[in-house]
């Protein structure tokens, strides 16, 4: 696929071609664990990687390969690896960089399970992480130690929508010869392409906007050929977090409409954020598309649009937040995000329940914070639903 094609063309075509045997236009689901060779010599050559080919799905599968090509093209990366989930992408990517004795500098404002992995699991492997509570690159620099081998962050962050300066953190990493790893799940490559801003490696929960329909778990890592090859040979074959071919096919299918879904997600979210920010029962709205958001100007520079994740605090704390959750009719009370359907969740009791309360509060996840994943329904219906839910 020619690299100069525009994003929408790549979303539809990259990684996919008619089957050479049958002409099937859609990528088949290669629902096979194992692949036969013509003879023992060929089998040995494939196992020895002297010959390209497939042997066993944990080592590679054509449906997974098509998805790797597509996501790699959308992020503008040299190579990609797909994984069983977003957390599998995060843990696999980190394990590719970190060994016992190493140190990670990470943003404190992170998806809860990513924070938990860095905070609780790294020490079990003899490594450690320092969390930076601000979005300033200088504070990341101050946290660097002699054994720091990775800088890890997400922007916009889950669920408080902090915006971090991708270019500044990438430059910091380059200046100190430390790779930077970003979780690009909230933006998707349709809104933000961090490799083009100098970041070393990108991960995704493909469960979210890439799949887009709430029906398949998956993850992806995009980076240099050398690093992806290391993950293939040294991490994923041993830890085994590979994606199922069926889920790969669902995600391939979802991505073909990513460039069409995202503008509707984003314009719906902008209107909802504006509605909430003028509502007398709402204390605070976190959405980078609002001009008063501290990251608004930066988001304008590094994103094509402001995304479709919003969090807000209802006046009256936990009880008021719970009342809104219980009163919505169209929004589904459900975790996850990036679905065509609009979802509502209480972060402190769900995605961030593993984060100690004082640390939660320090990054703005107050007890009453409610997070919305704005879908692609008619926006007037979504606003009417929130309006009646707030009328108590
Ligand atoms: C920003 C972010 N990254 C990673 C993940 C983990 O993805 P998965 O649930 O596919 O493992 C999530 C899940 O909600 C997320 O919100």
Map out the domains of the chain as residue ranges. Answer: 7-255, 258-389
β-partners of residue 26 are none
- Contact call for residues 185 and 86 (beta carbons, < 8 A): yes
Q: Is the minimum distance from the CB of 306 to ligand 1 under 6 angstroms?
A: no
Whole-number average pLDDT of the chain: 96
Q: How far is the CA of 351 from the centre of ligand 1 (A)?
A: 9
In angstroms, rounded to a whole number, what is the distance separating the alpha carbons of residues 381 and 317? 26
Strands (E), 61-154: 79-83, 103-107, 128-132, 148-154
Q: Give 177-231 pLDDT, tens digit per residue.
A: 999 999 999 999 999 999 999 999 999 999 999 999 999 999 999 999 999 999 9
Which strands form 343-346's sheet, in the order they lie side by side? 282-286, 309-314, 369-373, 343-346, 332-333
Atom of ligand 1 minimally distant from the CA of 207:
10
CATH number listed for the domain at residues 7-255: 3.40.640.10
Band (pLDDT 50/70/90 cuts) for residue 1 is low
Of the residues 162, 183, 339, 385, only one is catalytic, namely: 183
- Bridge pairing between strands 219-223 and 180-183: unpaired
Q: Give 99-149 pLDDT, tens digit per residue.
A: 999 999 999 999 999 999 999 999 999 999 999 999 999 999 999 999 999
- Bridge pairing between strands 148-154 and 332-333: unpaired
**258-389: CATH topology:** 3.90.1150
Percent of the chain with pLDDT over 90: 91
Question: Can you give the pLDDT at residue 2?
Answer: 61
Look at residues 249, 259, 317, 260 and name the one whose alpha carbon lies nearest to residue 283: 317
Burial profile 344-379: b = 16 or more Cβ within 10 angstroms, e = fewer: bbbbbeebbeebeeeebeebbbbbbbbbbbbbbbeb
- Catalytic residue flag (residue 47): no
- Catalytic residue flag (residue 111): yes
Of the residues 70, 149, 208, 371, only one is catalytic, namely: 208
Band (pLDDT 50/70/90 cuts) for residue 6 is very high
Question: Can you give the pLDDT at residue 113?
Answer: 93
| Cβ atoms within 10 Å of 18's Cβ, excluding its own | 11
- Catalytic residue flag (residue 3): no
| 4 or 116, higher pLDDT | 116
The yes-or-no verdict on residue 3 having pLDDT over 80 is: no
Q: Give 242-263 pLDDT, tens digit per residue.
A: 999 999 999 999 999 999 999 9
Of the residues 5, 56, 58, 327, only one is catalytic, namely: 58
The yes-or-no verdict on residue 61 having pLDDT over 70 is: yes
Q: How far is the CA of 352 from the centre of ligand 1 (A)?
A: 12
Kindly report the pTM of this predicted structure. Answer: 0.97
Question: Can you give the pLDDT at residue 164?
Answer: 98
Band (pLDDT 50/70/90 cuts) for residue 357 is confident
Percent of the chain with pLDDT over 70: 99
- Give the list of residues 6+ apart from residue 37 with CB closer than 8 angstroms, or none: 43, 46, 53, 55
The one-character DSSP state at 196 is: G
Name the residue with the closest Cα to ligand 1, atom 14: 336
Q: Give 303-356 pLDDT, tens digit per residue.
A: 999 999 999 999 998 889 899 999 999 999 999 999 999 999 988 888 778 778
- Catalytic residue flag (residue 183): yes
Q: Is the minimum distance from the CB of 84 to ligand 1 under 6 angstroms?
A: no
Name the residue with the closest Cα to ligand 1, atom 8: 86
- Bridge pairing between strands 148-154 and 219-223: unpaired
């Amino acid at each position: 696929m020619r690299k100069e094609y525009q994003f929408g063309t790549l979303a539809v075509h990259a990684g996919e071609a008619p089957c050479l045997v049958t002409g099937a236009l859609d990528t088949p689901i290669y629902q096979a664990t194992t692949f036969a060779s013509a003879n023992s010599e060929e089998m040995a050559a494939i196992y020895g990687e002297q010959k390209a080919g497939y042997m066993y799905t944990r080592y590679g599968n054509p449906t997974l390969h098509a998805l790797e090509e597509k996501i790699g093209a959308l992020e503008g990366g040299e190579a990609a690896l797909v994984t069983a989930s977003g957390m599998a992408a995060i843990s696999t990517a980190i394990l590719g960089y970190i060994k016992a004795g190493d140190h990670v500098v990470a943003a404190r404002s992170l998806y809860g399970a990513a924070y938990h992995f860095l905070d609780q699991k790294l020490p079990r492997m003899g490594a450690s992480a320092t969390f930076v509570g601000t979005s300033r690159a200088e504070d990341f620099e101050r946290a660097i130690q002699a054994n720091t081998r990775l800088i890890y962050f997400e922007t916009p962050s889950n669920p408080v929508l902090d915006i971090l300066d991708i270019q500044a953190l990438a430059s910091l990493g380059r200046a100190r010869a430390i790779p930077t790893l970003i979780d690009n799940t909230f933006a998707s490559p349709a809104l933000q392409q961090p490799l083009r801003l100098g970041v070393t490696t990108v991960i995704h929960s493909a469960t979210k906007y890439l799949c887009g329909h709430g029906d398949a778990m998956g993850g992806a890592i995009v980076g240099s050929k050398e690093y992806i090859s290391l993950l293939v040979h040294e991490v994923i074959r041993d830890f085994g977090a590979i994606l199922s071919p069926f889920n790969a096919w669902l995600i391939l299918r979802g991505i073909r409409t990513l460039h069409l879904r995202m503008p509707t997600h984003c314009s719906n979210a902008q209107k909802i954020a504006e509605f909430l920010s003028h509502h007398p029962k709402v204390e605070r709205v976190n959405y980078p598309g609002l001009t008063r958001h501290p990251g608004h100007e930066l988001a304008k520079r590094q994103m094509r649009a402001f995304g479709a994740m919003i969090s807000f605090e209802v006046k009256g704390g936990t009880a008021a937040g719970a009342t809104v959750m219980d009163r919505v009719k169209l929004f589904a009370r459900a975790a996850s995000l990036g679905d065509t359907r609009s979802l509502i969740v209480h972060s402190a009791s769900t995605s961030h329940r593993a984060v100690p309360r004082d640390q939660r509060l320090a990054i703005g996840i107050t007890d009453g914070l409610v997070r919305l994943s704005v879908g692609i329904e008619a926006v007037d219906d979504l606003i009417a639903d929130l309006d009646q839910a707030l009328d108590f």
